[in-house]
Each structure stands twice: as structure tokens, then as C-alpha cells.
Structure 1
């Protein structure tokens, strides 16, 4: 739900982003509404079990990024491996569950009214996040999201490169490919693809060494 409505609905606001780490040729996301869909049409499709027809479908590939401000209806299609970064929130309103059932054989709980109050019905066919590439040589950066809640970029590091980082707030690294050694406070963590590490704000200086060509997601709060 958006921040302006979350408290009244008994929930917490949630802004997110998805980074596509890997994807099959048919992989897709459902994000925002098709052009011109109204709330009345959306409600009719909920009643008929066909509300997925209202969602904007996006084909995706590895390296794509989608920003999801609170209020943007969204669902992950098949064939994706995704790193999800989100605002600290435990609220999810499920407007549709693709007519599936849970492990108990029963449909999962839906939150139709809360969803209708949360969805931005002017949010039509959003685009993937554009990326700005900066740097050459040993370190290259691709800036994906710059939001008051979090900033996200992708860093590419040449094999054997050593570098340092000073922390001004909590940060998270998520490994996309390669191998990276992270050292601080007398401890070293070795990261491989799919692994994450949290860099607390209390660390003044963090050292890195890429033991192979490396790419990682860098999240700053």
C-alpha cells in the first residue's frame, strides 16, 4: 500500500525493486495496468477470475531492473531468478492468485478491498528502470535506482582487483557472478553467486578483493 493509505488500511507501505539475475527466453513480469484499464473494469475482471488480463506484461532478460513504487500492482512470471530489494515492510495485499490453491488444497487468502484501495489506477504500462553506466577499467558501475528509501547499483570488478569502501550507512551486497572476499573488523567473508552480506553502518572501512571477474548488486540505505 502507498504511504498515504497504509495506516488506514492497517498495513505498512512497501516500495520495492526487482533485479533480474537470470531468465529463460519466455520469462516475464506483470507490472502496472494495461493502458486505459479503469477501476470498474478491474473489479469486473476480479469477479470473473480474469483480472490478469488487466496487467501489463513485460518480457525480461538477465540484467533488467523494475522499480515498484508502493501502489504499483505487480506479479512475477515464470522463468525468473530475481533479487528483490524492498522497504522494511511486512504487508502484502494479494488481489489475485492465478486461481491456484495452497498446499492444503484450498485457495490462499485474498485481500481484494485493501488491494483496490492501494492500487494506483493511473499507473499504465511502466517501463523497466533505465541504467546509467559509469567508470572504466577495473571498476564499472551501473546505477539502477535512486530513491529516498534505497539506492541500488551494479558493480563489475576485474579479476584480482583490490579496493576499499567507507560506510556512511548500512549497505547490502548481493552476488550476481564471480567471487568476492569482503574484509572488515578482522573478519573475512567469501561470497559466491546468490549470497548476500550486510555491511553495518558501524564499519568505517571495508576491503574487497575479487578473486575472479565479479558482478554484484550494491544497496545503500
Structure 2
């Protein structure tokens, strides 16, 4: 097997901006692109291989053909033949709705789906101004929560953060959250498209209708625990990995490289994904496959990968994630 790039799945949204297409250096015209699904095995939105011997095959077909060679033997068993992660870039020109996602148990019971734990890495903020909501800042009961939805005061109970490039937020299933206007970010999440919309600022869609809210469904999905700080704190370093998140669903580190680095994955029973945010590099695997990676691209290295040599062109910044 060889390193895989996929054709992006661009999604225009009510709140989307104009940054994803130039960031990814795509030659296409599409307005209000809020999301680029980089690597997806969500039914109906399966990523298609862009180049090489497997060009034209989608991720579901790759899973059926390569199984553990693609994702790792234990991952293949654990996730029952489904690719476990969904990788996105998100550009919010306007606020997204306030949301929550169910955990595995509740999502399986209600939707026959995995739950949705995710993380955000802020790539940019428009003109230095961007914010998001993450978690509760005060204790409320499920009934108080429903009342606050009804009287449009739910934001009063949420922790609001002004964000800068490099900020990281981990969002376990059950944590209320919302991406605010000005955020441009990379998102790593479980393969699930189950979202409960809590509040949408009374916005109307293109047909003039209020968007559906899921107050009763979300009431049971919320983790009502209150924490002092929901931001992930870390010290950026050059030319060495900095771990950001380690959870049962993914482990993610950030790299800022100015010199060649050799990555040893010989003991890892998992695929590895690089999500490039800045600069460019050339990556060569143990079988001699060489691939160029630049800002806006995501690459899937199969579980058969033993080691990689990463040669930056000047400086390169990317996220590394695996299960």
C-alpha cells in the first residue's frame, strides 16, 4: 500500500465562508463553503482516492479490500470494518448553532451509530477576532437547560472563548459547544454525523423557516459537569512532537518542523493521518513511496507503514493523528 490522498468533499452551508478553496489551492468555484470533508467513511459521503493505483475507489471499498492492512488489525475488529475517524476543515463566517453529540451508548441505542467525540485545532481567526463556546460555566439541571432554550438564554450558561491560531479544544461526547464567527479550524472526530442542534440564534434558512431544534434528544445527551477551563494547554516546540489529545478514539500531536525528522511507526497497529496547516514537506515511506504534502492537504498512511522520513520545505506545521 501507499500514502493516500483523497478528493475533498466541499459542503456549502448557511454559515460558510470563502477561505477553504484558496487555503486548499483548489481550482473550482463554490460559494459559502463551510466544510471540507478531507477523509470520510460516513455513508453517502465516502472519500474517493485522488491518485495512484487505487484512484477512484472510495474509503469504504478500501476498507473492504485491505481491512487491517489499512487501519490496523485491532482497529478493524473494534470498529467492525468502518473507518473510525472523520477529518474536516471548517470555515465559519457566521456562528454555527449550539450543539451537542451523543456518546457511543446513546448513539447506538437511538441511531445505530457511533457517538461523536471530537477536537478542534484553530488554524486562523478572521482579523484577530474569533470566538467559540465550549462547556458549561455554571451548574444547571436538565429542566433549567430546557427552560433556557425556551427563553433564549442558553448562551448565558456556556463558557465563551476568544481564540488564536494554535488553540486546541477537546470535545468529548456530551459537551455543549459551538464554533463562532471567524474561526478557521481543523476538526478530528469519530466517524459519526449525529448532531443535536440545541440553539440557532433564531436564524431562518433560505426558505424563511426556523431550523429544527433537538431539545428533548439533547437533554439526555448532555454532560452537565462544570469545569474551570475547557481549553487544552500545551507548549509549542519546534522539531519534536507535542501531544495535544490522547483519548480512546484518537491520539493527536502537532509538529512544527524546520529540519528532517524520521517517524517510527513500527510498533503502532494503526493508520496515521497528517493534516497540514502551514508550509509544505516531502514524505517518504519505508517502501520508497514519496509524496508531497502542502497546507490544506490531508494524507492517510496505511497501517502497513513502518516509518516515514519527513523533509520540510523551510518550515511545515501539521497534525498527526491515529487510533
TM-score of the superposed pair, with normalisation by structure 1: 0.88
Deviation track 1:159-209 (CA, whole Å, cap 9, x = no partner) reads 5x2534435211111112111112334543222212111111122333321
Cross-structure match for 1:155: 255
Return the match for 2:301 from 186, 196, 199.
199
Return the match for 1:15 from 117, 124, 128.
117
Q: Distance in 1 between matches of 2:142 and 2:229?
A: 17
The ranges of structure 1 where at least 4 consecutive aligned residues each deviate by more than 3 angstroms after the TM superposition are 123-126, 184-187
Task: Tell whether the 8 Å contact from 1:31 to 1:125 is kept in structure 2 after alignment.
Answer: no
TM-score of the superposed pair, with normalisation by structure 2: 0.62
Cross-structure match for 2:147: 44
In the alignment, does 2:145 pair up with 1:145? no
Q: How many residue pairs get matched?
A: 217
Deviation track 1:20-61 (CA, whole Å, cap 9, x = no partner) reads 111243311101112233322221121123322222111211
Q: Within 5 Å, which residues of 2 pair with 1:1-221?
A: 1-10=102-111, 11-24=113-126, 25-131=128-234, 139-159=239-259, 161=260, 163-166=262-265, 168=268, 169-184=270-285, 185-221=287-323
Q: Which runs of 5+ in 1 are unaligned?
A: none
Q: Distance in 2 between matches of 1:60 and 1:38?
A: 28
Q: Which runs of 5+ in 2 are unaligned?
A: 1-101
Q: Distance in 2 between matches of 1:217 and 1:193?
A: 11
Q: Distance in 2 between matches of 1:173 and 1:104?
A: 39
Name the SS of the counterpart of 1:213 in structure 2: strand
Q: Distance in 2 between matches of 1:164 and 1:56?
A: 38
Root mean square deviation, CA, Å: 2.1
The Cα of 1:92 is off from its aligned counterpart by 1.0
Deviation track 1:95-133 (CA, whole Å, cap 9, x = no partner) reads 112211223332222222111110111234542112256
